[in-house]
Structure 1
């Protein structure tokens, strides 16, 4: 067995989101020197179960093995039929197991991808469940930088409290880029309300859901943003008016004193 090859594959498996539990089985399969082999990994996301089959193939020219792809069989809690999708391993940043689950949930993931020419580029990736290839794999739509989706700008159109703090904002954006359905605090009528949001690069916006995961109309959250802004503006106006009244207050007695003094002189 090629030890360097084992170490490389061990790390590749780990950083693709499958942890370290497959190390012993990986070593056993490599020692058998078969032309190909598979490893299985189960993951639970809430009540959903995702079973991944990792595919390895031996080189025709050497004793090295390659981790080529993994197939995910997703059994959702509320569905009798399972969903399958194969994700291919590339030289660049691979789609992790959790990202694969998020994609199969219909959400988008922001990745560093590598072109056939070896050039690295950034793109949002999202599964198109309406179109599949000859092997039954769903098409992956890509929304490159030139497509014009700006996550930060899309978030700024909503009254999200986390955006007021640089660290919280960064964490929120990082989570959304991984394809997560992320909780966020919305400011509504002066109150804090917990919603869930996800990136929507296709329509250059974000999707928002209430505590029961019911979709919220984007116009509603944008109106809340405007309402929150108007409320803040009114508070500032009232404060300025109050300060103006306070400034006028001391001047009135001075004027009264002047008038009184003038009357006294005339007498």
Structure 2
């Protein structure tokens, strides 16, 4: 194994924000010389479920060098595993003893379980002795799926693939926020002529997936599209913005696609804890409560901006159509 190659891959994964646990998976497989393998990572979803990541690695046929050029991301409506837990597909062997296959990824666990015949069990736990069954199969037919697991079992979500080059591309955090439907800001994008530009990115869920089964990525160019995060935030009575350091944190977090908790004053003079995100398509800020219920954004406008609350629908539609035509397919 080439140690420089190992360090390069580890540095690239750290640059993209993947966990040390995932990096340890990669190092173990590279040291063992496994020619092709997958590494896994996850993070809690903002509202429900978790975001799962799959990173395929390949070893060069000409050398000891390993490489990866993409990772897959999917939003699963299932609670994150507790520390030390795994998904387990369990079935009896010919000798009557349990054959247990442990997996980190819920989609791969469900797929493997569905491929079984005879009697099998899909469970969550640290081992077969300490498990919680979430699905059961008898004589090749599934006869039980736990209510808390049905959303994940029947959803069959399609992953989105993001391509990277030498550790450059969308980070783990940014990709995870994109698949949750939020916008991410990038200032190092390249157009078809190789020119660098800045844009807010969003996945287009209104159009069919492409031939690689990916959603198209729409770029809302900055400043062309007309959404300025700083100016948009200034319109609202957000108390946290009064602190310059906190304001900087809020800006950076929203630009990475996060849902940020702040205190904001509504039209009745009440200061409420709310979450804010960038509503790029409408050049606005979205507000929601801790339970995910959306709030009326205009209720948090400063008085001097109330008169400008209605924007031109025609102007917005024209800008939207222009950006749809400039849609970006990341990596392809």
The number of residue pairs the alignment matches comes to 227
What is residue 237 of structure 2 aligned with on the other side?
Answer: 159
Alignment of 1:76-91 (within 5 A): 76-77=77-78, 79-80=151-152, 81-83=155-157, 84-91=159-166
Which residue pairs with 2:248 in the alignment? 170
Distance in 2 (CA, whole Å) between partners of 1:103 and 1:52 is 13
Q: How does 1:174-253 map to 2 (within 5 A)?
A: 174-188=252-266, 189-222=268-301, 225-226=302-303
Q: Does 1:129 align with 2:205?
A: yes
TM-score using structure 1 length: 0.75
Q: How far, CA to CA, are the matches of 1:211 and 1:61 in structure 2?
A: 53
Check whether the contact 1:92–1:114 (CA below 8 A) recurs between aligned residues: no
User: Can you list the C-alpha shifts for 1:219-248, whole angstroms capped at 9, x where unaligned?
Assistant: 3322xx21899xxxxxxxxxxxxxxxxxxx
The offset of 1:91, in angstroms, is 4.6
Q: How does 1:89-108 map to 2 (within 5 A)?
A: 89-91=164-166, 93-108=168-183
**Alpha carbons of structure 1 residues 44 and 164: separation in structure 2 relative to 1, 3 Å:** closer
Could you list the runs of 5+ residues in structure 1 that have no partner in the other structure? 230-267
Compute the displacement of 1:138 (Å). 0.9
Aligned twin of 1:57: 58
Unaligned runs of 5+ in 2: 79-147, 307-332
TM-score for the superposition, normalised by structure 2: 0.61
The 1:228–1:139 alpha-carbon spacing in structure 2 relative to 1, beyond 3 Å, is closer
SS for the counterpart of 2:64 is coil
1:73 and 1:105 map into 2 onto residues whose CA distance is: 9
* Alignment-derived partner of residue 128 in structure 2: none
SS, match of residue 9 in structure 2: helix
The 1:211–1:52 alpha-carbon spacing in structure 2 relative to 1, beyond 3 Å, is closer
Tell me if 1:3 matches 2:13.
Answer: no
Q: How far apart are the structure 2 equivalents of 1:175 and 1:213?
A: 18
8 A contact 1:114–1:120 mirrored in 2: yes
The CA deviation string for residues 165-190 of structure 1, in whole angstroms up to 9 with x for no partner, is 21111111111111111112112333
Task: Tell me by how many angstroms 1:98 deviates.
Answer: 2.3
Cα shift at 1:191: 3.2
Superposed CA RMSD: 2.6
Structure 1, residues 180-220: CA drift from partner, whole Å, max 9, x if none?
11112112333321111101222211111134322223333
Alpha-carbon distance in 1 for matches of 2:303, 2:182: 27
